[in-house]
Amino acid sequence: MAAKSIKSLLVAVFSLFMVLGSTVVFAQDTTHHAVTEHHEGETEKLDPAKIIMDHIKDAHEWHFFTAGDFHATIPLPVIVYSPAKGFSVFSSSRFGHEGHREEYNGYKLEEGEISAVDGSKVYDFSITKNVAQMLLALIVLVFLMLGIAKKYKNGLGVTSAPKGWQNAVEPVITFVRDEVAKPNLGKKWKNYLPLLLTIFFFILINNLFGLLPGAANVTGNTAFTIVLGLVAFFVIIFSTNAHFWMHIFWPPGVPFLVKIILIPIELAGVLLIKPAALMIRLFANMVAGHIIILSFISLIFIFGAMAKVAGYGFSPISILFTVFIYFIELLVAFIQAFIFTNLTAVFIGQSMEGGHDDVDGHAEPVII
C-alpha cells in the first residue's frame, strides 16, 4: 500500500513538474512572440490564439524557449527543390530566429512556410519538427519491440514470468489480441494482429511524446492522420471479397428505388466516410487537448495583462485545471490509440464478411 502511495505521489509530482515546465516555456515564448516593440513605449497586445496555434502547428526548428536574446532551439535540415535551382540542403538556422527572419540562398521562411524570394515554385521536403519526432517515436517503437521479441525468443516470458518492459507491454498485447483482433477478425486474426499492434503502439508513443513540454503534436497533424487513414483504407480494400462488393452495389432485400439511393451512400461509406472518420477523430481529439491545456495557461497572461495581481492570483487555479486536463490527456492518449486500432479491426472485419464461415461471427455495425 505504501509503495502504491509513493508511486501515485511521484506521478503527481512529475506531472506537476511537466506542467510548470511547459508554463515557463509558454511564458518565455509568449514574451518573444506576442509582445514585440513597434515604437518606443508601445507594445503589441497579447494574442492567445496566435500563440496557441504556433505551439500546435509544425515548424522547421525545434524551439523550446526564449530568454532575452537567447533562443533555445534545435535547427532542423531544410531540403527544398526549385525547378530553377534544383535541390538545396541547409540548416534552418540560416533563416535566423522568430521575429528576426532572414533570407538565405533565395529562400525565405514566413509563418512556417518556405517560399522563393522571386515567387517561383518551391517543393519542400524538409525534416520538420513533426517528422523528426515521428522518426524518434519509430526508433523507440522498434527498439522496444525488438527487445521484447528477443526476450521471448530466449524463453523469458514463455517458461518464466516476464520482466521489465516486457511485463508492462504484455498485458497490452494480449488486450489488443483478445479484445480487438479476435472478436472482429475471427479465424483470420493472426494475419492482422501485427498490423493492429503496430498501429496501436505507434499512435500511443506519439501521443505520449506529444505531452512532453516542448514536444511536437504529431498525432494532431492532419498529414500524419491522413497517412494512417490511408494505410487502414488500403488494408480494408484489399481485404474485401466479392460478397462484400455485391452487397455494396446491389443490397439484397431492398426495393429498387431505395437501392438507387443506398448504393452511392454505401460506396461513399467505404471509400470516404470510414477513412475520414479514422483521420478526423484522432486529429480532433489530440488537438483539442493541447488547445485546452494551452488555453488554461494563457489565462494567466491574459489576467496578468490586465493586472499583475490578477495574473498571480489566477495562477494556482490555472495550474490546477491544467494538471487535471493533463491527466485526462494521458488517458485520452491510450483511448485514442485503442479507438483507432479497434475501428480499423472492425472495418476490416466488415470487409471480410461473406459466407458465414469466413470469420467467426460478424462485426457489429459501428456508428461513426
For residue 114, give the nearest of 60, 154, 47, 71 by alpha carbon. Answer: 60
Average pLDDT score over residue span 192-202: 95
Q: In 3-state terms, what secondary structure has residue 80?
A: strand
Mean pLDDT to the nearest integer, 283-287: 90
Taking 70 as the threshold, does the pLDDT of residue 362 lie above it? Answer: no
- Cα distances (Å, whole numbers) of residue 111 to 47, 98, 156, 287, 294: 15, 9, 52, 19, 20
What DSSP letter does each residue of 57-79 carry, written as one string? S--SEEEEEEETTEEEEEE-EEE
> What is the model's pLDDT at position 257?
86
Question: Quick check: 227 pLDDT over 60?
Answer: yes
Closest by alpha carbon to 22, among 226, 296, 352, 307? 296
Q: How many Å apart are CA 319 and CA 335, to the nearest integer?
A: 24
Closest C-alpha among 210, 214, 176 to residue 195: 176
CA distance 8 to 218: 28
Give per-residue pLDDT as tens, 94-132. Answer: 888 776 788 888 898 887 788 888 888 899 999 999 999
pLDDT at res. 26: 40
How many angstroms separate the CA atoms of 212 and 19, rounded?
9
Tell me how far apart the alpha carbons of residues 332 and 326 are, in angstroms, rounded to a whole number.
Answer: 10
For residue 44, the SS3 value is coil
Q: Taking 80 as the threshold, does the pLDDT of residue 20 lie above it?
A: no
Collapsed DSSP state (helix, strand, coil) of residue 317 = helix
What is the band of 45 on the pLDDT scale with cuts at 50, 70, 90? low
pLDDT at 194 over 70: yes
- Is residue 35 pLDDT above 80, yes or no? no
Task: Give dist(CA 335, CA 337) in Å, integer.
Answer: 5
DSSP string, 104-158: BTTEEEETTEEEETT----EE----HHHHHHHHHHHHHHHHHHHHHHHHHTTTTT
DSSP-based three-state secondary structure for 81:
strand
What distance lies between CA 162 and its chain's CA centroid? 30
Quick one: cell of 73?
532551439
Question: 233-261 b/e with 16+ CB inside 10 Å = b?
Answer: bebbeebbeeebeeebeeeeeeeeeeeee
Q: Kindly report, residue by residue over 315-358, the tens digit of the pLDDT.
A: 899 899 989 999 999 999 999 999 999 999 999 998 887 544 44
Position 175 scores a pLDDT of: 94
Q: Return phi, psi of residue 133, to 5°.
A: -70, -35
Tell me if 126 sits within 8 A of 89, measured CB to CB.
no
* 129-180 pLDDT tens trace: 999 999 999 999 999 889 888 888 888 877 777 877 888 888 999 999 999 9
